[in-house]
């Protein structure tokens, strides 16, 4: 749920979701349509479908228990390298790097100063700095500490270097601690691809289709059109059909007797 969604939006939805689907078994046994409806307000609706498929796969192939190894986790729907490492580290205590945006930024400034390297260059460093055997910190506490520093102190535009416990060992602190240069602070952040404009994008209209389907058992294409496009005309029917076919392919919708519905 936290993939590309802010914590304050996620917390109430997480609590609602867990009340409705308290176990993987309950989630796996529920219709996909129920999961998609409950996902309302979160965006990136494909995550709901993948989570539902993940629950079914864990029940059928893993005895109802989520795998512990990151490689096994990555084989599940919707789990990429970061999520697999995060689950392995935070849930099961695995000692492996967990690199989110905050950790990338902290490690980059710590080791490279204001000349940010590529994210790939930071991955060996993250592995090298992991707590070793006998260290009072475990990998989970280590990463949570780095994430907290990045989220609250070593921020992208206005780092509070004077408050940072890493200041004395940080290559960027001498240049950033006076807070005078916002542009220097921003340029010291490792590059990450920026998302394009949301409103008017294909993802935007896909979301409008799903939102319309949440409120009905099924809808005809011509009734759906005005709910999706502000100035819908019959000429738009073809592009709406293409949009719907894409949602069907992704498991987010289905055709029923020429009408559209949640799966």
| Diameter over CA atoms, the chain | 69
Of the pLDDT bands very low, low, confident and very high (cuts 50, 70, 90), residue 79 is: very high
Can you give the pTM of this predicted structure? 0.84
- pLDDT single digits (tens) 42-61: 889 999 999 999 999 999 99
pLDDT at 196: 72
Please give the Cα distance from 236 to 220 (Å, whole number): 14
Please give the Cα distance from 35 to 217 (Å, whole number): 15
Percentage of residues of the chain with pLDDT beyond 70 = 99
Judge whether residue 149 has pLDDT over 90. Answer: yes
The mean pLDDT value for 58-76 works out to 95
Please give the Cα distance from 51 to 63 (Å, whole number): 17
Of the pLDDT bands very low, low, confident and very high (cuts 50, 70, 90), residue 3 is: confident
DSSP 3-state percent helix, strand, coil across the chain (nearest 5) = 55, 5, 40
Least confident of 105-114, 125-134, 137-146: 125-134
Beta bridge partners of 259: 220, 256
Cβ–Cβ under 8 Å, residues 166 and 110: yes
What the chain holds in terms of domains, given with CATH numbers, is: 7-65 (1.10.340.30), 101-187 (1.10.1670.10), 202-261 (1.10.10)
């Amino acid at each position: 749920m936290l993939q590309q969604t802010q914590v304050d939006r996620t917390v109430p939805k997480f609590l609602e979701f867990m009340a409705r689907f308290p176990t993987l078994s309950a989630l796996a046994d529920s219709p996909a349509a129920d999961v998609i409806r409950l996902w309302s307000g979160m965006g990136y609706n494909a995550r709901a479908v993948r989570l539902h498929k993940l629950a079914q796969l864990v029940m059928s192939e893993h005895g109802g228990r989520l795998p512990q190894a990151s490689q096994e986790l990555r084989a599940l729907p919707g789990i990429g390298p970061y999520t697999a490492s995060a689950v392995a580290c935070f849930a099961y205590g695995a000692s492996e790097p967990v690199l989110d945006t905050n950790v990338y930024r902290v490690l980059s400034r710590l080791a490279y100063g204001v000349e940010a390297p590529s994210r790939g260059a930071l991955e060996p460093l993250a592995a090298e700095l992991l707590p070793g055997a006998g260290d009072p910190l475990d990998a989970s506490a280590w990463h949570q500490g780095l994430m907290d520093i990045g989220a609250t102190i070593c921020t992208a535009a206005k780092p509070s270097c004077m408050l940072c416990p890493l200041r004395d060992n940080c290559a960027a602190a001498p240049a950033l601690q006076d807070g005078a240069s916002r542009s220097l602070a921003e340029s010291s952040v490792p590059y990450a691809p920026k998302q394009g404009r949301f409103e008017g994008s294909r993802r935007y209209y896909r979301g409008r289709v799903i939102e319309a389907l949440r409120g009905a058992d099924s809808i005809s294409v011509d009734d759906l059109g005005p709910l999706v496009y502000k100035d819908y005309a019959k000429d738009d029917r073809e592009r709406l059909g293409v949009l719907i076919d894409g949602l069907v392919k992704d498991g987010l919708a289905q055709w029923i007797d020429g009408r559209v519905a949640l799966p």
